[in-house]
Amino acid sequence: MSYKLAENSFRSVFKTIDTDLVRWFPGHMGKGLKQMQQKLRSVDCIVEVHDARIPLSGKNSDFKYTVSGLKPHILVLNKADLIEPSRKPAIVKSLKTDYPHVVFTESKNQQCTGVKKIFPLAQELIGESNRYNRANAEDCNLMIIGVPNVGKSSLINAMRIRFLRKGKATSVGAVPGITRSVLTRIKLCEKPLFYMFDTPGILSPNIPNVETGLKLALCATIEDHRVGEGILADYLLYWLNKQQRFQYVEAFRLDRPNDNILEILSHIAKVNNKQIKIRDTLNNYLIKPDLNLAAHIFIKSFRNGDLGKIMLDDDLIKLK
Ligand SMILES: Nc1nc2c(ncn2[C@@H]2O[C@H](COP(=O)(O)OP(=O)(O)OP(=O)(O)O)[C@@H](O)[C@H]2O)c(=O)[nH]1
**pLDDT tens per residue across span 23-51:** 666 667 778 888 888 899 999 999 999 99
Ligand 1 pocket by C-beta < 6 Å: which residues? Answer: 78-79, 81-82, 106-108, 146, 148-154, 172-174, 176-179, 200-201
Q: Is 213 annotated as a binding residue?
A: no
Q: Is 152 annotated as a binding residue?
A: yes
Ligand 1 atom 1: residue of nearest CA: 79
For the CA of 305, the closest atom of ligand 1 is: 1
Label residue 88 by pLDDT band (50, 70, 90). very high
Q: What is the pLDDT of residue 320?
A: 64
> Who wins on pLDDT, 18 or 233?
233
State the distance from the centre of ligand 1 to the C-alpha of 48, rounded, in angstroms: 14
Contact assessment for residue 203 and residue 51, using Cβ atoms and an 8 Å cutoff: no
Q: What's the topology of domain 25-197?
A: Rossmann fold (3.40.50)
- Domain coordinates in residue numbering, the chain: 7-18+207-319, 25-197
Q: What is the pLDDT of residue 16?
A: 63
Strands of 140-146's sheet in order across: 102-104, 73-78, 45-51, 140-146, 194-197, 185-189
Q: What is the pLDDT of residue 15?
A: 83
State the distance from the centre of ligand 1 to the C-alpha of 104, rounded, in angstroms: 14
Do β-strands 73-78 and 102-104 pair in parallel, antiparallel, or remain unpaired?
parallel
DSSP state of 117: G
- List residues bridging with 146 in a β-sheet: 49
State the distance from the centre of ligand 1 to the C-alpha of 290, rounded, in angstroms: 29
Handedness of CA 217, 223, 224, 225 (dihedral sign): negative
pLDDT of 160 higher than 60? yes
pLDDT of 181 higher than 60? no
In this prediction, residues 59-65 reach a mean pLDDT of 83
| Ranges 67-71, 170-174, 243-247, most confident | 243-247
State the distance from the centre of ligand 1 to the C-alpha of 49, rounded, in angstroms: 11
Label residue 21 by pLDDT band (50, 70, 90). low
Q: What is the pLDDT of residue 175?
A: 64
Ligand 1: residue of 51, 172, 184 to mutate (most ligand atoms within 8 A of CB) is 172
> Please, which residues have CB within 8 angstroms of residue 112's CB and are 6 or more apart in sequence?
105, 106, 158, 159, 161, 162
The pLDDT tens digits for 89-136 are: 999 999 999 999 999 999 988 788 899 999 999 999 999 998 888 989
Q: What is the pLDDT of residue 25?
A: 62
Contact assessment for residue 264 and residue 258, using Cβ atoms and an 8 Å cutoff: yes
Q: How far apart are CA 148 and CA 304, in angstroms?
A: 18
Predicted TM-score (pTM) of the model is 0.91
The pLDDT tens digits for 258-304 are: 999 999 999 999 999 999 998 888 999 999 999 999 999 999 999 99
The contacts found for 85-90 with CB under 8 angstroms, 24 or more apart, are 87/311, 87/314, 87/317, 90/317
> Please, which residues have CB within 8 angstroms of residue 119's CB and are 6 or more apart in sequence?
159, 163, 188, 189, 192, 194
Here the ipTM equals 0.98
Q: How far apart are CA 132 and CA 243, in angstroms?
A: 49
The pLDDT tens digits for 215-237 are: 999 999 988 988 899 999 999 99
For the CA of 177, the closest atom of ligand 1 is: 24
Report the share of the chain in percent with pLDDT over 90. Answer: 60
State the distance from the centre of ligand 1 to the C-alpha of 132, rounded, in angstroms: 34
In this prediction, residues 234-254 reach a mean pLDDT of 96
User: Would you call 153 exposed, middle or buried from its count of C-beta atoms within 10 A (0-12, 13-18, 19+)?
Assistant: buried
